[in-house]
Amino acid sequence: MSERDLGKADTGGAHLHRLVLFSDAVFAIAITLLAIEIHPPEHWRGVSDLFRQMWPKLAAYAVSFAVIGVCWFSHRRVFARLVRADGGLDAFNFIVLGLIALLPLATELLWEQRGGQALPVYVGHVALIGLAMGLVWAYAAFVGKLAEPMPLGEALYVLVRVTLLPGLLCGLSIYSLIYPWGWALIAVVLLGLNWIGRRLAGPKAA
């Protein structure tokens, strides 16, 4: 097979498949680094003292674990709607992956500062991930024409969902660590978005 044939083969389903595999690897590494960066305190007395000292790290880890999970889920749903890939999609997707790879650093800032300036930096970082995901979908659906055919309303719904969901759920998760009833808000948001998505998708969602 010539280099020209290889180049053609890499612009369709094979290109998309390799991009998804590479992206999944970055998500997996980022979520692993979250745990690797957690170290026990040098001095602790008993289990209660251990968890008292480690609570900020464990809370930040839980939030970031959920954030990466939500981002991966959004990424998977976006790429499941694509039929091919191109260089433009690669570029926008690399922005997403670069921000995901920095999330362990943002998490470390969050547990070291325990609020203050670190909190808006962290939430802002997650919001940037959502914005980058929105750029991926906007390019794929409206510019590169890489997505499967769908109604305009459904395409716009996907854009709003992938752009806003990471930052929104991140803020609600941190809020829920202080006010536990915030988890009910998260459930309402997720159920509401799923209901809207099913209504827009019509019979396909059944």
pLDDT score at 115: 56
Assign 200 a pLDDT band (cuts: 50, 70, 90): low
DSSP string, 90-159: HHHHHHHHHHHHTHHHHHHHHHHHTSTTHHHHHHHHHHHHHHHHHHHHHIIIIIS--BPP--HHHHHHHH
Residue % of the chain over a pLDDT of 90: 39
pLDDT score at 10: 55
Give the mean pLDDT of 85-99: 96
pLDDT score at 1: 40
Q: How far is CA 98 from CA 27, 71, 102, 103, in A?
A: 10, 13, 7, 9
| CA–CA distance, 55 with 81 (Å, rounded to integer) | 39
pLDDT score at 205: 42
CATH entry 1.10.3470 includes domain 3-205: no
pLDDT score at 91: 96
Question: What is the model's pTM?
Answer: 0.81
Structure tokens at 115: 């609020």
pLDDT at 13 > cutoff 60: yes
pLDDT at 154 > cutoff 90: no
Look-up of token digits 């997403």: 96
pLDDT at 9 > cutoff 50: no
The residue length of the chain stands at 206
Mean pLDDT across the chain, nearest whole number? 83
Tell me the per-residue pLDDT of 34-90, one tens digit each, with 9 for 90 and over. 988 777 777 777 777 777 777 888 888 888 998 999 899 999 989 999 999 999 999
pLDDT at 189 > cutoff 80: no
Q: What's the farthest any 2 CA atoms get from each other in the chain?
A: 67
Q: Which of 133-137, 148-152, 173-177, 180-184 has the highest mean pLDDT?
A: 133-137
pLDDT score at 5: 47
